[in-house]
Every structure is written in structure tokens, then in C-alpha cells.
Amino acid sequence: MNKVEMKEAILEAKFEKGLKWADIANAAGMAPEFICSACLGMNHLEKPQADAVAKALGLGAEVSVALQRFPTKSWDKTIPTDPLIYRWYEMLNVYGETVKEMINEKFGDGIMSAIDFKMNIDRQPDPNGDRVLVTISGKFLPYKSW
């Protein structure tokens, strides 16, 4: 089973069972955001966690094996057309240089890791309409001179 087939099987089973990403993550003992990313094919899981995900979804060993394979991270489109994902591109286009400037001002010349990285997505109640709260934490990696 490849990552595309795995993703389709997982999403179908998740829908049929009425599970949330938090339910699946609890079964694996990991963060919902990371479990979701692995189930969508963009990260891998170790065998115990992959087995727990497959079991929670009622799926077979082939899904666990696919979850354990290292992903090839690629994107089909330059700018996705899904409105929610497109807005992230828009935010980076408008605020990307600002983020870079602020990180460089506070830390020096370097980058924020997307490997040593954590993300939490929460719902924040607001009387004017609930808000999406995304917290991103990545290790700072300074550029080195030699």
C-alpha cells in the first residue's frame, strides 16, 4: 500500500467511525496535529504508534506498514486552490518577510526548523465569531560562518 492509498483508507475509516483526530492521537499517545500529518502521508510513525492508529481505525497491517514508511514530501500545485490552504499561502505572501525580519531581529541570522517543530490548533471563543488559534514552535537554527 502506498501513501496515497493509505491516506484514502484512513480518511474513509475515520469518517465511517465518526472519529476525531484527537481520538486517533489518544490511541497512539501523540499530538493530534502530528498524527493527522502522518495519516495524510507527510510524516511517518514508529511501529507501536502506527499499529495503534491502524487498530483505532479498524484497518489492517498494510496501513500500519505504510504509516511507518518515510514520506516523500511534495506538492502537486504551486498554489493550492482549497480556500483554507490558499489563505495560508496568502498569509505567507503578505507576512512572510515580516516573520523573517522579526525572527532575525530577535534571534540573529538563521531559520526556524520545520523538523524540530510543534504545532497546536485550537478554537478560541469570541463574541464576534470563534477564532482559529494556531501556535507554531520551531527550533531556531543559526546560519554558521566558516
What is the domain-level CATH number for residue 99?
Answer: 3.30.1160.10
Is residue 73 included in any domain, yes or no?
no
d(CA 104, CA 142): 9
CA angle 140, 100, 90 (to 5 degrees): 120
Q: How many CB atoms lie within 10 A of CB 74?
A: 6
**Per residue of the chain (146 residues), what is the pLDDT tens digit?**
999 999 999 999 999 999 999 999 999 999 999 999 999 999 999 999 999 999 999 999 999 999 999 998 877 778 888 999 999 999 988 889 899 999 999 999 999 999 999 999 999 999 999 999 999 999 999 998 88
Q: Taking a C-beta distance cutoff of 8 angstroms, is the pair 24, 39 a contact? A: yes
- What H or E segment, with its residue span, contains residue 38? helix 32-39
Q: Are residues 134 and 103 in the same domain?
A: yes
Specify whether 90 is catalytic: yes
Is residue 44 included in any domain, yes or no?
yes
* Active-site residue, selected from the candidate residues 12, 62, 90, 101: 90
Q: Taking a C-beta distance cutoff of 8 angstroms, is the pair 54, 67 a contact? A: yes
Residue 124 belongs to domain spanning: 83-142
* Active-site residue, selected from the candidate residues 16, 46, 113, 131: 113
